[in-house]
C-alpha cells in the first residue's frame, strides 16, 4: 500500500536546506501537509495500532465480543508447527530470492557494462521487466514449468530424462517459486547495478590492468567493494520484496501448496485472517511481520548514507 511497495526507494539525505527559503505564512504549511497526514493516519497508522491491539484479543465463539487473552495468540503462534514451518519457508525463500536475484543481476550488469552500445535500449527493457507484476511473473513461470508441456520441463526431460512435476513435489515447487520471484526482480537489480557501475572511475580499472591485475581480481578488489552501497540497498529492497510482495505470485502459482510447501508468511496471514477468520491469530502474525519491516527499515536508514565499503 502507500509507500512501502513503490519500488525505487530513493536514497535521500537530511543534509542541506540551511539557507533561507521561506514564505512568511502561518497557516499554509498545515493546509499543504494535511491531505497526506490525514490519509496516513486514517488508513495506515490507526489500522496498524488496531492490529497490535487485536493481537492481544480473541473473538468470542459467537463473534460478538472480544476476550482479552494476553500473549495467548503469540504463544499459539510459536507453538503452531504450521506457523513455524511457514516462517522457515519464508526465510529460505527470501534468502534464495535475494541471493539469486543479486548474483545474476550483478553478473548481467557487469557483462552489459563492458559493451555500452545500446545501453539505453537495454535499460528500457529492464524497466519494463521491472514493471511486470508478481502475478504475471508467476503465470509466465507456471507456463515454463508446466508439467505436461512446459519448455523447461521438456529440456530437463531430454537432457536428464527426469520428468519434473512440481504439482506433486513440495521442494521442487519452492525452487520454482524462488526462480519466478527472483526473475521478476532482475530488471530492477540490473538498473541499479548499471547505475552503480557507471560511477566507478575508468582510471582505477585501467591502472589495475597496467599493474597486471586479471579481470577476476579487478572485479573482486575494485568493482565489488565500490559497488557495495548499491548492493546493500538492493539487498534490503529485495528482502522487503521477498517478504511482502510475493502474495500474487504465490496465489497464482501454488496457493501455498502442494500441502503447505510454499506457504510463506503473507500467504498464511491471508489464510488465517480472511479464510479461517481467526482475527487475533492473524493480528499476532501481522505484529511479527512488523518486526521484520522494522529491522529492515532500521538497517536501511542506518546505512543508506554511509558508503558501505569504508566500514
Partner 1 sequence: MLVVIIFPVYYAFTMSTFNSKEAYSFPPRFLPSTHIWENYKTAWTTVNMGRLIFNSSFISVTVALAKIGLSIMAAFAFTYFGEFKGKFFFFTTILITHMLPLPIRIVPTYDLMRSFGWINTYYALTIPFFASATGTLLFRQLFLTVPPSLSDAARIDGAGPMRFLVNVLIPLSKTNIGALFLIEFTYMWNVYLWPMIITNSNNMRVVQIGIKMLLASEAQAADWNIIMAGTILAMLPPLLVLLIFQKTIMEGFSLKEEK
Interaction with partner 1 in 146-205: which residues (CB under 8 A)? 146, 148-151, 154, 158, 183, 186-187, 191-192, 195-196, 199
DSSP assignment of 214-229: -HHHHIIIIIHHHHHH
Among positions 170, 248, 257, 258, the unique one binding partner 1 when judged by CB under 8 A: 248
Q: Is 41 in the site for partner 1 (CB under 8 A)?
A: yes
Dist CA 119 CA 202 (whole Å)? 17
Does residue 77 touch partner 1 according to CB under 8 A? no
Residue range at the interface with partner 1 (CB under 8 A); choices 65-73, 76-84, 106-114, 215-223: 106-114
Cα Dmax for the chain: 79
User: Applying CB under 8 A, does 72 fall inside the site for partner 1?
Assistant: no
Tell me how far apart the alpha carbons of residues 210 and 227 are, in angstroms, rounded to a whole number: 22
Contact 311, 225 (CB under 8 A): no
Could you give the CA distance from residue 137 to residue 101 in angstroms, rounded to a whole number? 14
* Measured distance CA(248)–CA(255) in Å, rounded: 9
Distances (CA, A) of 307 to 11, 225, 300: 12, 10, 12
Residue 116, interface with partner 1 (CB under 8 A)?
A: no
Does 65 participate in binding partner 1 (rule CB under 8 A)? no
Select the span of 27-35, 62-70, 82-90, 217-225 touching partner 1 (CB under 8 A): 27-35
Instruction: Determine if 99 is a binding residue for partner 1 (CB under 8 A).
Output: no
* Binding residues for partner 1, total number by CB under 8 A: 106
Task: Report, in Å, the least distance between residue 283 CB and partner 1.
Answer: 6
Find how far residue 109's CA is from the centre of its chain.
20
Length of the chain: 311
Shortest reach from residue 124's CB to partner 1, in Å: 6
Contact call for residue 294 and partner 1 (CB under 8 A): yes
The DSSP letter of residue 262 is: T
- Region binding partner 1 by CB under 8 A among candidate stretches 45-53, 62-70, 76-84, 91-99: 45-53
Query: What is the smallest separation between the CB atom of 206 and partner 1, expressed in angstroms?
Result: 22
The least CB distance from residue 218 to partner 1, in Å, is 19
Angstrom distance (rounded) from CA 302 to CA 296: 10
Do β-strands 57-59 and 66-68 pair in parallel, antiparallel, or remain unpaired? antiparallel
| Residue 131 binds partner 1 (CB under 8 A) | yes
Of 64-72, 91-99, 211-219, 272-280, which segment contacts partner 1 by CB under 8 A?
272-280
Amino acid at each position: 500500500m502507500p509507500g512501502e511497495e513503490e519500488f525505487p526507494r530513493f536514497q535521500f539525505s537530511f543534509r542541506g536546506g540551511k539557507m533561507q527559503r521561506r514564505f512568511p505564512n502561518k497557516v499554509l504549511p498545515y493546509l499543504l501537509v494535511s491531505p497526506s497526514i490525514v490519509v496516513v493516519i486514517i488508513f495506515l497508522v490507526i489500522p496498524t495500532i488496531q492490529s497490535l491491539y487485536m493481537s492481544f484479543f480473541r473473538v468470542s465463539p459467537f463473534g460478538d465480543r472480544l476476550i482479552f487473552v494476553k500473549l495467548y495468540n503469540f504463544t499459539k503462534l510459536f507453538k503452531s508447527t504450521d506457523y513455524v514451518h511457514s516462517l522457515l519457508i519464508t526465510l529460505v525463500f527470501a534468502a534464495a530470492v535475494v541471493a539469486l536475484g543479486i548474483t545474476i543481476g550483478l553478473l548481467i550488469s557487469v557483462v552489459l557494462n563492458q559493451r555500452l552500445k545500446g545501453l539505453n535500449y537495454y535499460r528500457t527493457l529492464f524497466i519494463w521487466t521491472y514493471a511486470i507484476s508478481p502475478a504475471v511473473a508467476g503465470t509466465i513461470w507456471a507456463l515454463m514449468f508446466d508439467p505436461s508441456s512446459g519448455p523447461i520441463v521438456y529440456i530437463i526431460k531430454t537432457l536428464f530424462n527426469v520428468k519434473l512435476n512440481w504439482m506433486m513435489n513440495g521442494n521442487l515447487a519452492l525452487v520454482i517459486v524462488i526462480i519466478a520471484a527472483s526473475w521478476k526482480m532482475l530488471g530492477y537489480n540490473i538498473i541499479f547495478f548499471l547505475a552503480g557501475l557507471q560511477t566507478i572511475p575508468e582510471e582505477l580499472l585501467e591502472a589495475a590492468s597496467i599493474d597486471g591485475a586479471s579481470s577476476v581480481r579487478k572485479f573482486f578488489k575494485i568493482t565489488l567493494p565500490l559497488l557495495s552501497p548499491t548492493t546493500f540497498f538492493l539487498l534490503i529492497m529485495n528482502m522487503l520484496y521477498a517478504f511482502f510482495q510475493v502474495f500474487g505470485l504465490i496465489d497464482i502459482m501454488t496457493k501455498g501448496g502442494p500441502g503447505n510447501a510454499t506457504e510463506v508468511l503473507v500467504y498464511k496471514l491471508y489464510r488465517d485472517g480472511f479464510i479461517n477468520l481467526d482475527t487475533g491469530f492473524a493480528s499476532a502474525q501481522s505484529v511479527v511481520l512488523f518486526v521484520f519491516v522494522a529491522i529492515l527499515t532500521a538497517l536501511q536508514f542506518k546505512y543508506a548514507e554511509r558508503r558501505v565499503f569504508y566500514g
